[in-house]
């Protein structure tokens, strides 16, 4: 039973990663590409971490993975934010859908 | 002993307590030698770097010692929200139907660390990225914008996260 949950989370991680990369190729401007890549990096890596935590059960290794997850919770958004802030400070105008609501 | 010295000692002690908790989490052993080593080095590191960890002006009532049990709940809630909005972004990527807008709104949180956690959570949730945080004014890039009205957009993006954070950092 545990193995199947681990499998499910790993496959979920792979799917999110693939879709994030697809989004980076499809989307039109830096901000939306950053959205896609941050989705890929957060959710897929988190799925892999959860799979690893379930696989190792209750032990010291789980605690270490938990600490790594917490670091990831802090570091990943900060890197995405820094890139977005740089683009915003350089006055790159965000892409907007034509005919959208004003 | 005046107030500044007292606050300095409190900062050093808080920093060393946090560092020691981190040490215990990493080593995971109750061996007395390792514990004494950890205590010594956390106090040494705290003496050197307390002014970087805790700013001198950062003296809110609940800014540094907060409600940990609600924080654990908050992390679980964030995980759930991350997966939920991640599926929404997945759907948008497949359909190629996006409506990105930049929205501005304000936050009601007072302490600096609570604001930083709110900003981080907004960026961590797929579909929204914080472009800038200036005092209490946030600029957010939203992938699937439903509205550009400041107040409604703020309610949709931060909504429940802000309410829980308000209870953590009272």
Per-residue HEC secondary structure of chain B comes to CCHHHHHHHHHHHHHHHHHHHHHHHHHCCCCHHHHHHHHHHHHHHHHHHHHHHCCCCCCCCCCCCCCHHHHHHHHHHHHHHHHHHHHHHHHHHHHCCCECEEEEEECCCCCHHHHHHHHHHHHHCCCEEEEEEECCEEEEEECECCCCCHHHHHHHHCHHHHHHHHHHCC
Query: If you count residue pairs, one on A and one on B, with CB atoms under 8 Å apart, how many are there?
Result: 102
Give how far Cα A27 sits from Cα of A2, A4, A19, A36, B52, Å: 37, 34, 12, 8, 39
Does residue B117 surpass a pLDDT of 70? Answer: yes
Decide if A50 contacts A9 (C-beta within 8 A): yes
Q: Where are the domains of chain B?
A: 3-53, 68-168
Could you give the CA distance from residue B62 to residue B60 in angstroms, rounded to a whole number? 6
Chain A interface includes B100 (CB < 8 A): yes
Domain that residue A64 falls in: 2-89
* Residue in A11, A21, A23 to test binding to B, most B beta-carbons within 10 Å: A23
pLDDT at position B144: 82
Chain B environment of A15 (Cβ under 8 Å): 90
ipTM of the shown complex:
0.83
Chain B interface includes A61 (CB < 8 A): no
- Number of folded domains that form chain A: 1
Least Cα separation, residue A59 to chain B (angstroms): 10
pLDDT by residue (tens digit) across A58-93? Answer: 887 888 888 888 888 888 888 888 998 998 999 888
Calculate what percentage of chain B has a pLDDT beyond 70.
95
pLDDT at position B63: 61
Q: Could A16 and B143 be called an inter-chain contact, meaning their C-beta atoms sit closer than 8 Å?
A: no
Tell me the two tokens of residue B124. Answer: 């961590």
Let me know if residue A50 belongs to a domain.
yes
Find the closest chain A residue to B147 by CA distance: A101
B96 pLDDT band (50/70/90 cuts)?
confident
Let me know if residue A83 belongs to a domain.
yes
Chain B interface includes A32 (CB < 8 A): yes
Chain A environment of B72 (Cβ under 8 Å): none
Does residue A102 surpass a pLDDT of 60? Answer: no
pLDDT by residue (tens digit) across B24-73? Answer: 877 877 888 888 998 999 999 999 988 887 777 766 656 666 778 888 88
Residue position matching structure tokens 């040490």: B23
Let me know if residue A102 belongs to a domain.
no
Let me know if residue A26 belongs to a domain.
yes
Nearest to A78 among B28, B79, B120 (CB): B120
CB atoms within 10 A of CB B20: 18
Could you give the CA distance from residue B137 to residue B107 in angstroms, rounded to a whole number? 7
Query: Which backbone phi and psi does B128 adopt, to 5 degrees?
Result: -135, 135
Query: Which backbone phi and psi does B64 adopt, to 5 degrees?
Result: -110, -35
Let me know if residue A97 belongs to a domain.
no
């Amino acid at each position: 039973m545990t193995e199947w949950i681990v499998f499910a989370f790993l496959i979920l991680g792979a799917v999110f990663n693939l879709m994030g990369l697809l989004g980076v190729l499809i989307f039109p401007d830096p901000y939306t590409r950053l959205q896609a890549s941050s989705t890929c990096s957060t959710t897929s890596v988190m799925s892999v971490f959860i799979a690893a935590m379930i696989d190792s059960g209750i032990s010291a290794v789980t605690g270490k993975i938990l600490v790594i997850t917490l670091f990831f919770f802090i570091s990943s958004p900060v890197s995405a934010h820094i890139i977005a802030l740089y683009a915003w400070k350089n006055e790159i105008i965000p892409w907007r859908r034509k005919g959208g609501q004003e | 002993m005046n107030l500044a010295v007292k606050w300095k000692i409190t900062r050093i002690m808080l920093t060393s307590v946090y560092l020691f908790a981190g040490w215990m989490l990493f080593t995971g052993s109750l061996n007395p030698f390792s514990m004494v080593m950890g205590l010594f080095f956390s106090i040494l590191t705290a003496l050197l770097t307390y002014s970087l960890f805790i700013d001198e002006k950062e003296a809110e009532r609940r800014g540094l010692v907060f409600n940990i049990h609600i924080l654990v709940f908050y992390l679980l809630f964030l995980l759930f929200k991350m997966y939920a909005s991640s599926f929404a972004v997945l759907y948008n990527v497949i359909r190629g139907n996006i409506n990105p807008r930049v929205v501005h709104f304000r936050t009601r949180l007072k302490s600096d660390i609570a604001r930083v956690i709110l900003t981080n959570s907004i960026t961590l949730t797929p579909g929204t990225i914080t472009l800038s945080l200036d005092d209490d004014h946030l600029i957010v890039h939203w992938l699937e914008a439903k509205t550009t009205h400041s107040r409604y957009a703020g309610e949709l993006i931060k909504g429940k996260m802000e309410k829980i954070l308000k209870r953590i950092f009272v």
